Amino acid sequence: MATIEVTLDNFNDAVSEGITILDFWAPWCGPCRGFAPIFEKASEENPDVTFGKINTDENQDLAGHFQIMSIPTIMVFRDNIRIFSQPGALRKKDLDNLITQVKALDMDEIRAKLEDQGK
């Protein structure tokens, strides 16, 4: 699947179902530009995962909501639940490993843990 541009308007739709990996970035950011081909390659290799890019210059509201302090920041959602968030570019093998781990998660178990935390 191609990488999509995520904004405030389509954010909820982007993360509502399945696995979504977001790259918070900016055009002037050197490490962001270096990570872009890795992110694109992973999106081509994982058509069952949604890959989205959030330009922090154009989407300061989203960046502020998630308290993005450095870019790139990688954030992973599964079924509208934030699973992972980390500043810094990932190497290809680390991104592949992250995707494998997120695919293997038992979401019923995750939801139960979140419900217990809310009590």
116 is known as an active-site residue: no
CA 80/CA 67 separation, integer angstroms: 18
29 is known as an active-site residue: yes
Task: Catalytic residue, from 14, 32, 38, 98: name it.
Answer: 32
Task: Catalytic residue, from 14, 19, 21, 29: name it.
Answer: 29
Query: Any idea which residues carry the catalytic annotation?
Result: 29, 32
